[in-house]
Amino acid sequence: MKHLKPYYKIDEWNIIEEGFSEAEHEKSESIFSIGNGRFGQRANFEEKYSGKSLQGNYVAGIYYPDKTRVGWWKNGYPEYFAKVLNAPNWIGINILIEGTEFDLATCNISHFRRTLNMKEGYLERVFTAELKNGLRLRVLAKRFISMANPELAAIKYSVTPLNFEGNIGFTPYIDADVKNEDSNYNEKFWIEVERKSMNREAYIVAETKKTGFQVCTAMKFNITQDHVSLDFKTNPVEKDLYVANHITVFCKKDQETVIYKYISCLSSENHPKKELASHSQILVNQASVSGFEILLNDHIKVWAAKWKESDIIIEGDLIAQQGIRFNIFHLNQTYTGDDERLNIGPKGFTGEKYGGSTYWDTEAYCVPFFLSTAPGNVAKNLLIYRHKHLQKAIENAQKLGFKNHAALYPMVTMNGEECHNEWEITFEEIHRNGAIAYAIMNYVNYTGDKSHLSEYGLEVLMGISRFWAQRVNYSNEKKQYVMLGVTGPNEYENNVNNNWYTNYIAKWTLGYTIEVLDYVKKNNPDRYNEIIKKWEFNFSDETHQWNEIINKIYLPKDDKLGVFMQQDGYMDKEHILVKDLDQSHRPLNQKWSWDRILRSIYIKQADVLQGIFFFESDFDNETIARNFDFYEARTVHESSLSPCVHSIIASKIGRFEKAYEMYLRTARLDLDDYNHEADEGLHITSMAGTWMSVVYGFGGMRIKDGILHFKPYLPEGWKSFSFKIEYRNTILNIKITHKATEISVSADKPVEVNLSGLKHILEPNKILSVAN
């Protein structure tokens, strides 16, 4: 596959758009989004823009249970689809030029340049606009959402008349009369609680319907001309769900007038409702005193620390370098890990699609990234999030007829309750349970924190294993246990029997749960007895049944081809490979009927290969290679979660050209809009897979028996690449060049590693260099 021609300029630290394109605008609104883990904002314009735009400001944890809309209701359907709401718009600054409304959609725009500075975490835009009456002005807009104070944001917006002097009116505002484009019934979700507009400042408290979450958005602003602060009074404006201030300033030709708008965004998730308004006002007043540059510098310092932990440096390939930093940037600004109530939505703070809710993507893709690039509590909080939802998972299973505290974690959730409303996903894509179990093992294996098993992990594993034990049934014909009516990771197949990946991960979960039961019983008997009693667990009977399933579960395989079968009947399909498919039909999900997709062999994302990636130590290289070659030829990669898995496996089996091709696809999936959907928001959770493609793929990193293993290679055209990982309270620096692999460790004692099959002891403050 040829690499797509980039729309944005190639730069190692910046995403740059030169020239304004209305056709690309909504995509750019996604690409240039900023956030801080607490709230986030699409790259909508501050000034009025009447053209097509997806407005979006999102506050973490704030959602609405939008009533499910389906044509045929089925028992067990969730009553609602949870949606992260488009929250009050805080960026707005309306402008009047000599009495004429400044609407960018009606202007002639030149010298347009939009920049996302990923190193320092801010969005900047500069352009020249000519109004219909011939007046021309230059605008420079710069904004950030503070990583240093997660409830603050700031905007610097400057206007310079180029061919006139006259009055310019500024109206900074907060608008809570907003909507979600994906509202099922075109309903607006906010009601006003309180509002107030005063000289230079204003605030509004809005509440979500049904859920009763409250968000207070407050603003304060200052104006300078020629770097001198103006003394002025404003005309406060108030109306339903809207507050603003208006000020008119006389501006000379070539004189820069700057408005500094400071914003606080507080939610009732973190403050008592009765204190939201007062706290918000205090924050914006403190921000105004500190000033834009001091706030920005504090923000930049936090980003410097983030990059020190998680940066990957690639020499010799700017396209690859820009791609990986874009992915790491969005991961770090979406989730900071300081609140175990929060998780990572597939679109993060960049769009409405998928409701901003939690999927299995977190456990399969994001946990490995945060394990290696952040303090240990960050990944752990993602696991605790699921433990907090265990009772809800049990209730989800009960709705489908399961008993005995069996737990089915939701495909989509905000609060632990299933809220996805497509039957083939809600009822059938149950492999998500396995990913949650796998993440527990992955966390313990990586951190060595076995206390997590008795404190949290075992209870979750027991609930999931009880579900698997009830979900299978014994086939008298096959003399084996089978699992019927499922959807695997490949969502281009629905209601299939014996999806290999789902059966395999169910088998593994049962075995791992038995291991953990034995471990906790031996090492923490009091806690073990507490858990057994709480969940009414009959060790002898239940583990006997589990072992029966482990030993007799059916795993479809084609012995002639030597590959695992994705599901029963897969070989009955017409096998036209992807390379022979008319490319004008791509992407299939936008060109083909769903019926045609379901009858085809084409695979949306790694399915069998997802299982091989998770459990690669169970298979020899020849088996892995046969399955990779078979399924890669049939995979269209129309899920963002697919290319990274293929890249990692390709690296392992020596398909280096394919590994790099798939790396570029995952790294630049949104930047180059491979699937023609970046306008809806970015693919945040799959971005962690990009990181894995480098570290697990090109770096060959694995953990075996508590020892870090590396088997690196250098992709063609690269001069070097380097990364850091945090592993059990030590920081390792790894650099791969053509000549050697260099590893150093920040620790006060030696650390053992395995490099390309050989054991090495890393001494503190020394560099181990091994020739490649």
CA angle 327, 331, 334 (to 5 degrees): 140
Strands 563-564 and 730-737: unpaired
CA distances from 133 to 48, 129, 231, 400, 440 (A): 17, 11, 31, 65, 64
Cis peptide before 368 (omega within 30 of 0): no
Contact 469, 394 (CB under 8 A): no
Run of H or E residues at 751: strand 751-755
| Integer CA distances (angstroms), 535 to 409, 460, 462, 469, in order | 17, 11, 9, 16
Q: In whole angstroms, what is the distance from residue 428 CA to residue 265 CA?
A: 39
DSSP structural state of residue 572: G
Coil vs helix vs strand at 763: coil
Helices (H), 241-291: 276-290
**Separation of alpha carbons 406 and 399, rounded Å:** 11
Residue 527: strand, helix, or coil = helix
- Tokens describing residue 356: 């901003």
Query: Is-contact 417 80, C-beta < 8 A?
Result: no
Burial 29-41 (b: 16+ CB within 10 A, else e): bbbbbbbbbbbbb
Strand order in the sheet with 166-175: 100-101, 93-97, 166-175, 242-251, 235-239
Q: What residues does 263 pair with on adjacent strands?
A: 153, 219
Q: Which of 429, 491, 493, 726 is catalytic?
A: 491
User: Which pair of structure tokens corresponds to residue 527?
Assistant: 């806690």
Q: Which runs of consecutive H residues, i.e. helices, occur in 423-524?
A: 423-426, 432-447, 451-452, 458-471, 500-523
Classified as helix, coil or strand, 176 is: coil
- Is there a contact between 189 and 183 (Cβ–Cβ < 8 Å)? yes
Please state, as a whole number, how many other Cβ atoms lie within 10 Å of the Cβ of residue 376: 17
CA atoms of 646 and 689, how far apart (whole Å): 10
**Residue 254 DSSP symbol:** T
Q: 60: closest CA among 311, 287, 337, 310?
A: 337
Dmax (CA) for the chain in angstroms is 88
Report the distance separating Cα 566 and Cα 584, nearest Å. 27
HSE, side-chain direction, 13 A CA sphere, residue 446: 24
Q: What are phi and psi of 257, to 5 degrees?
A: -115, 130
- Burial of 194 from C-beta contacts in 10 A (0-12 / 13-18 / 19+): middle
Q: Please tell me whether residue 120 adopts helix, strand or coil conformation.
A: coil
Selection from 619, 620, 617, 648 nearest residue 632 by Cα? 648
Q: Which residues pair with 186 in a beta bridge?
A: none
Give, in order, the Cα–Cα distances in Å from 89 to each of 43, 57, 148, 203, 555. 12, 6, 22, 12, 52
Cβ-contact 154, 220 below 8 angstroms? no
Strands 100-101 and 93-97: antiparallel
Beta-bridged to residue 743, according to DSSP, are: 734, 768
Secondary structure of residue 220 in the 3-state scheme: strand
151 among known catalytic residues: no
Show which residues are catalytic.
Answer: 491
